[in-house]
Structure 1
Amino acid sequence: MDTAAQTRVLDEPVYQYSTLTAADQLELLTKVVSSGALGAIGGDHVREFERQAAAHLGRHDAVATASATAALELLLRCLPPHEPPERVVIPEICWISVPTAVLRSGRTPVIAPATSDLTPHWEQIEPLLDERTTVVILAHLRGRPAPDTQRITDELAQRGVTLIEDCAQGWGTTLDKQPVGGRGVAAVFSTETHKLVATGEGGIIATDDSQLLDALRAVGGNTRIALPENAGGRGNDRMSEITAASALPQLTYLNALRQTLRPLQDKLIDLLQDVPEVRSVLPTAIGKSPNLDAEESNGSLVGVWLPTPGHANRVADHLFRLGVRHWWPGPGDPHLAMNWPGTPSTASLVDMACYLDIQVPVLDESRHPAFLDLIRSALRLDNHGSESA
């Protein structure tokens, strides 16, 4: 297949999944704008989004915020205080706002090294715990669940350490057939532009703790709820009615989106597992690895470990030129602890520059073979950057 014919397959892919529900979003947005009730106080879309998100996640309730960063900072402000200095264990790979939120809360971040599935396991977390450790933040990354979540949950519960689940990239992701975000004291989700529920900016905190919910609402800016003791004042972290109206149709469509993405994701996994240059694939084929198979992912991404950083860099560059959306955590990437100012260094277990993942577009099934040919050609680059025979 010639290159020109290959690249035509990318004339009509849908990478911005939020556009699939654009008509329904516009209908709700028109109602919001016409009503003039643009803020969370006086409207009803924010509250409806909170209720529906909590129901989807199997949580008692939720609080919607202006961003996931605001959500995490608000949550940390509302946790019961302990004697300083408090330590918070966070993963080596997550967005830079996680360590920043910990620092702003007056706590000290401690970095747990990532494994080849991008998340720390209990073996990486346990040595970091001491009498000052009050919180562990565990991230479900790249549309996949952290595979050691249940053990981490059980071990922390025995020690009285609070678990927070960072589910910013976790919409539509499941763990043991249930949505992620149901094990910690609270879970934080994002509705930033690149998420499966995408509103530009936005976040939500889901929890079963009624007292914590009241504190989140009061400290977050709801003046109708009394501030708890030692709250330190109110902020304004609330989501707008316009943002919630944009989120609601996407949340309703989320399960259908997973099923739409799944066929091409499965084909891409099968292809990558047969490419000699690929060391391993995430998610794995169904049944090969508990909690890491394709059925637990949200269908949006397939990750590969390649032999060297140079190989991964060349593949990423080739994918960029083809217009294939991907993520390669190269130098300076703000997802990596080595690039966070003000946080301690950690001894990495894996070289993240050997990893990249490929986004699964919504694409007509007739174009799947051509898309897969594009990926195959991009991965078979020799050390000189040319395609292997």
Structure 2
Amino acid sequence: MDDFIPVSTPVFEGRERELLAQCIETGWISSEGPFVEALERGMAKRTGRAHGVAMSSGSCALQAAVGALNLHPGDEVIIPSFTIISCAAAVIRSGATPVAVDCDPRTWCMDVDLVRQAVTPRTRAVMPVHIYGLTVDMTRLDVLTAEYGLAMVEDAAEAHGQQCDSHPCGGFGTMSVFSFYPNKLITTGEGGMVLTDDEALAMRLRSMRNLCFEPQRRFVHDELGWNWRMSNVQAAIGVAQLDLLDTFVERKRTMGRRYDALLADIPGLERPLPSTPFADNAYWVYGVVLADEVPLDAVQAMRRLAERGIGTRPFFWPMHEQPVFRRMGLFADTHCPVSERIARRGFYIPSGLGLTEEQQERVAAALREVLVHA
């Protein structure tokens, strides 16, 4: 379908071609090139961090961050149930146990009150995840983790340029993690980064991403690492994208406000909050949840939108309902009714940086037609 509107397409409006040409002209295409360090410095400065460590993906960055905590069997890490599987997988692969809590019904982010209820003597860390454009209440979570002496790994994969209580996302906790997947505000194609203020952690993360080569004896290894390096080619794109981050954030917010106006009078449609007491919505994606009285679920609504040339993406499926984890015996007694409901009744509509006003109008009209004839 020639006029199909995809959920997201990346936008390259800055120095991407220029910096990529430099990679080719100089021959620096591997992880040894200068743009990797430039991107690390730029992201660290942007988030108020001391150190950035680029990785080959956001999932690898999460795995490295959790792995650097040196967790042991029996240790617990509290995560939101409503998130991507990478969060739980990182905890499990570290040898620890993920403990899932439900999300707030309006922000879709981890409920800090439920985090407090989930803390046990075995809890070692908390992993807040900012969801779809709004943030976890990080100030309250900071207080909680300090009270119990817990580490915090902030998943800011969807929160480039976002702030919570006027503090940049990616700047909270022991470590924070970004993804640079193509649908993110900064993309390197594939890629991610861990940020921290702890120099020893940064050194360990650099070693882990580089097969744990010994500094003096390169091919002698005291422990096993991974090849999670980001290439200079990827980083060059990221450096160019970082230059435009403020522009991209404002563009997303303009799209969000426009969707708010276009969809305001559609009955049975729960739209994202424009703000909370601690954050303004950055509208990384524009998610909607069908009210209980709507006789369609998300799958049916998405199918009807696809027939009209509109791309959509389902909401995350809850961690405590993932078949792979159930087979492992995890989350057996976990119940997260909010996550369960929005997973079945929520989806997001086209909201990439390249979306035009005319396309937004088409999306809104199609969504209106689907719900009116539900």
The interval holding the TM-score normalised by the smaller chain is: 0.7 to 0.9
Q: Aligned equivalents of 2:310 and 2:41: distance in 1?
A: 36
Q: Aligned equivalents of 2:193 and 2:241: distance in 1?
A: 14
Q: TM-score, normalised by structure 2?
A: 0.86
User: Any conservation in 2 of the 1:18–1:198 contact (CA below 8 Å)?
Assistant: no
* Mapping of residues 86-235 of structure 1, within 5 Å: 86-116=75-105, 117-146=107-136, 148-221=137-210, 223=213, 232-235=223-226
User: Any conservation in 2 of the 1:68–1:202 contact (CA below 8 Å)?
Assistant: yes
Q: Aligned equivalents of 2:346 and 2:7: distance in 1?
A: 24
The secondary structure found in structure 2 opposite 1:282 is coil
State the match for 1:387 in structure 2.
none
Q: 1:157 to 1:306 in 2, by over 3 A?
A: same
User: Any conservation in 1 of the 2:5–2:309 contact (CA below 8 Å)?
Assistant: no
* Mapping of residues 300-319 of structure 1, within 5 Å: 300-308=284-292, 310-319=296-305
The alignment status of 1:291 with 2:283, answered yes or no, reads no
User: Any conservation in 2 of the 1:269–1:283 contact (CA below 8 Å)?
Assistant: no
Q: 1:128 to 1:232 in 2, by over 3 A?
A: farther
Letter in 1 for 2:364: L
Q: 1:237 to 1:264 in 2, by over 3 A?
A: closer
**C-alpha deviation, 1:86, in angstroms:** 0.9
User: Any conservation in 1 of the 2:271–2:287 contact (CA below 8 Å)?
Assistant: yes
Unmatched 5+ stretches in structure 2: none
Letter in 2 for 1:100: A
The alignment status of 1:76 with 2:80, answered yes or no, reads no
Q: Per-residue CA shift, 1:255-301, capped at 9, x if unaligned? A: 111222332320211333322212x32133x5xx3235xxx233332
State the match for 2:331 in structure 1.
344
Letter in 1 for 2:277: P
Q: Aligned equivalents of 1:303 and 1:334: distance in 2?
A: 14
Q: 1:364 to 1:142 in 2, by over 3 A?
A: closer
Q: More deviation in 261-270 or 106-115? A: 261-270
The alignment status of 1:375 with 2:361, answered yes or no, reads no
State the match for 1:3 in structure 2.
none
Letter in 1 for 2:241: Q
Q: Per-residue CA shift, 1:31-82, capped at 9, x if unaligned? A: 11222222222x1000000000111112112000011111111112222x46
User: Any conservation in 2 of the 1:143–1:170 contact (CA below 8 Å)?
Assistant: yes
The secondary structure found in structure 2 opposite 1:139 is coil
User: Any conservation in 2 of the 1:218–1:225 contact (CA below 8 Å)?
Assistant: no
Q: Per-residue CA shift, 1:6-30, capped at 9, x if unaligned? A: x99x578893133444xx2222112
Letter in 2 for 1:239: M
The secondary structure found in structure 1 opposite 2:140 is helix
Q: Aligned equivalents of 2:288 and 2:242: distance in 1?
A: 28
Equivalent of 2:39, from 49, 55, 62? Answer: 49
The secondary structure found in structure 1 opposite 2:30 is coil
Q: 1:265 to 1:94 in 2, by over 3 A?
A: same
State the match for 2:19 in structure 1.
28
Measured on the aligned residues, the alpha-carbon RMSD in Å equals 2.7
**C-alpha deviation, 1:151, in angstroms:** 0.8
User: Any conservation in 2 of the 1:187–1:205 contact (CA below 8 Å)?
Assistant: yes
Letter in 1 for 2:321: M
Equivalent of 1:257, from 230, 248, 251? Answer: 248
Letter in 1 for 2:184: K
Q: Aligned equivalents of 1:226 and 1:359: distance in 2?
A: 51
Letter in 2 for 1:15: S
User: Any conservation in 2 of the 1:167–1:180 contact (CA below 8 Å)?
Assistant: yes
Q: Per-residue CA shift, 1:232-267, capped at 9, x if unaligned? A: 343322111111012111111111112223323202
Q: 1:200 to 1:334 in 2, by over 3 A?
A: farther
Q: Aligned equivalents of 2:346 and 2:5: distance in 1?
A: 27
User: Any conservation in 1 of the 2:79–2:99 contact (CA below 8 Å)?
Assistant: yes
**C-alpha deviation, 1:84, in angstroms:** 4.3
Q: 1:369 to 1:233 in 2, by over 3 A?
A: closer
Task: Count how many residue pairs are aligned between Structure 1 and Structure 2.
Answer: 358
Q: Aligned equivalents of 1:300 and 1:104: distance in 2?
A: 29
User: Any conservation in 2 of the 1:186–1:207 contact (CA below 8 Å)?
Assistant: yes
Equivalent of 2:11, from 7, 13, 18? Answer: 18
Q: 1:300 to 1:363 in 2, by over 3 A?
A: same
What is the aligned-residue identity percentage?
27
User: Any conservation in 1 of the 2:7–2:313 contact (CA below 8 Å)?
Assistant: no
**C-alpha deviation, 1:337, in angstroms:** 3.4
User: Any conservation in 2 of the 1:192–1:201 contact (CA below 8 Å)?
Assistant: yes
User: Any conservation in 2 of the 1:46–1:64 contact (CA below 8 Å)?
Assistant: yes
User: Any conservation in 1 of the 2:62–2:90 contact (CA below 8 Å)?
Assistant: yes
Q: TM-score, normalised by structure 1?
A: 0.83
Q: 1:142 to 1:78 in 2, by over 3 A?
A: same
**C-alpha deviation, 1:173, in angstroms:** 2.3
**C-alpha deviation, 1:134, in angstroms:** 0.4
User: Any conservation in 2 of the 1:40–1:239 contact (CA below 8 Å)?
Assistant: yes
Q: Aligned equivalents of 1:217 and 1:72: distance in 2?
A: 14
